[in-house]
């Protein structure tokens, strides 16, 4: 049995006009989005270009960085404890529950940009190769992510109605 390669050519990137909407969204959480030249390495990228990089409260990107990567890495910044955030450089670390919360949060953040939305970001997550036990990001989010939403609530990122609080984890 062979596994199909991810459909990465069809994911949204910053080159598709998403730099400013993402910059505006993340600024509301005191996260700075910083871009580098088109051919430059992306500082502090754990996986390497075109994946976004992490350094403290900064997410590093370039024109070919996928939108889902920006939201995922920004969600790591938001979900980690303040003491880990202070020393953050490339590796977000975290445990299984935090990683699930990060995936949930990136979908929730995408819904804050009307032209983007949760459905499109979940499609791009699947195209990039995210794997969930139920076979798709959409199935996981709709059927198995309640614990991730509860984690975000307990840590002050979502309110009791599941809305963003505008805060990062203390």
pLDDT for 91-121, tens place per residue? Answer: 999 999 999 999 999 999 999 998 999 999 9
pLDDT band at 1 (very low <50, low <70, confident <90, very high): very low
Tokens of 50: 């075109």
Separation of CA 139 from chain center: 18
pLDDT band at 3 (very low <50, low <70, confident <90, very high): very low
Query: Where would I find the H helices in the chain?
Result: 19-27, 67-79, 82-86, 96-110, 117-128, 137-143, 146-154
Distance CA 15, CA 45 (A): 18
Say whether pLDDT at 26 is over 60: yes
pLDDT for 121-161, tens place per residue? Answer: 999 999 999 988 889 999 999 999 999 999 999 999 999 99
Q: What's the Cα-to-Cα distance from 126 to each of 43, 50, 139, rounded to whole Å?
A: 25, 17, 11
pLDDT for 77-88, tens place per residue? Answer: 999 999 999 999
Which pTM value belongs to this model? 0.94
């Amino acid at each position: 049995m062979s596994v199909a390669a991810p459909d990465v050519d069809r994911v949204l990137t910053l080159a598709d006009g998403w730099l400013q909407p993402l910059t505006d969204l993340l600024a509301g959480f005191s996260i700075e989005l910083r871009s580098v030249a088109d051919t430059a390495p992306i500082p502090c990228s754990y996986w390497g270009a075109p994946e976004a990089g992490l350094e403290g409260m900064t997410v590093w990107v370039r024109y070919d960085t996928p939108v889902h990567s920006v939201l995922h890495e920004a969600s790591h910044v938001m979900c980690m404890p303040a003491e880990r955030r202070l020393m953050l450089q490339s590796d977000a670390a975290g445990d299984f529950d935090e990683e699930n919360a990060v995936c949930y949060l990136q979908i929730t953040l995408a819904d804050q940009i009307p032209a983007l939305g949760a459905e499109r970001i979940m499609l791009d997550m699947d195209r990039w190769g995210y794997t969930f036990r139920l076979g798709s990001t959409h199935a996981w989010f709709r059927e198995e992510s309640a614990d991730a939403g509860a984690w975000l609530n307990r840590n002050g990122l979502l309110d009791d109605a599941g809305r963003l609080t505008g805060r990062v984890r203390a």
